[in-house]
A and B are shown apart, each in its own frame.
Chain A
Amino acid sequence: NAGVTQTPKFRILKIGQSMTLQCAQDMNHNYMYWYRQDPGMGLKLIYYSVGAGITDKGEVPNGYNVSRSTTEDFPLRLELAAPSQTSVYFCASSSFSTVLTDTQYFGPGTRLTVL
């Protein structure tokens, strides 16, 4: 099992550009999450999904969009990138809906810089 995979690992964007961060998991988890991590700030939830076709906002959703067309994939879209979106982005998944465990498994992260 590859677990949770993310692409790209690094990206530099110019202000106003758009991009999609890819996330995939092969553990058949229904729950998937997108977080951003800024220095000294822990992890902030951007969006999450409880299954294919169902998504909801987290704590800091502004400037981002998500979709969940399959159980495996959960891409995060940045429209009109801004310097405030410079951060490290982590995707995670869990089997919460089936075994009621809170354990989330994280991907390797994408380091995004907006200049």
Chain B
Amino acid sequence: EDKVVQSPLSLVVHEGDTVTLNCSYEVTNFRSLLWYKQEKKAPTFLFMLTSSGIEKKSGRLSSILDKKELFSILNITATQTGDSAIYLCAVGDYNQGGKLIFGQGTELSVKP
């Protein structure tokens, strides 16, 4: 059965800290891995990583994909209170058509 597991489930840091969120997966025929940010409303898209794009960066956020070890990390440097959110990892599988398998999410709280 396809599975996506995120860790930690929750994290509390102070402004300025660097955080690393983890996502490991077991899927039959990997196609892509996506990161979303959810701030008490709809998830918003951050990155998509595929075999042809295993590193992405946008400002203070960056992500890498390790297809051999079947995991991804999302790094946030110099955290701000506005980074407080649930971060969701999702994986696309060629055997699942256009469906995504979501992890449980990591709830990040950044204190001033």
Contacts and interface: CB of A to CB of B under 8 A. Distances in A.
Asked whether A and B interact, the reply is: yes
Interface of A: 4, 31, 33, 35, 40-45, 48, 50, 58, 90, 94, 96-97, 101-109
B88 A50 contact: no
A104 B100 contact: yes
Contacts of A50: 97-98
Given A42-B88, A42-B105, A102 B100 contact: yes
Given A40-B9, A40-B105, A109-B41, A103 B34 contact: yes
A108 B4 CA distance: 24
Q: Is the interface of B mostly helix, strand, loop or mixed?
A: strand
Contact of B104 (A31, A40, A102, A103): A40
Residue with the greatest number of chain A CB neighbours at <10 A, chosen from B32, B43, B45, B98: B98
Nearest to B41: A108
Q: Which 10 A-B pairs have the closest CB atoms?
A: A96-B98, A102-B92, A106-B42, A43-B102, A42-B102, A42-B104, A102-B32, A31-B98, A106-B43, A108-B42
Given A40-B105, A102-B31, A45 B45 contact: no
Given A101-B48, A102-B31, A103-B48, A58 B102 contact: no
Interface in B73-112: 88, 90, 92, 97-100, 102-105
B100 to A, nearest CB: 6
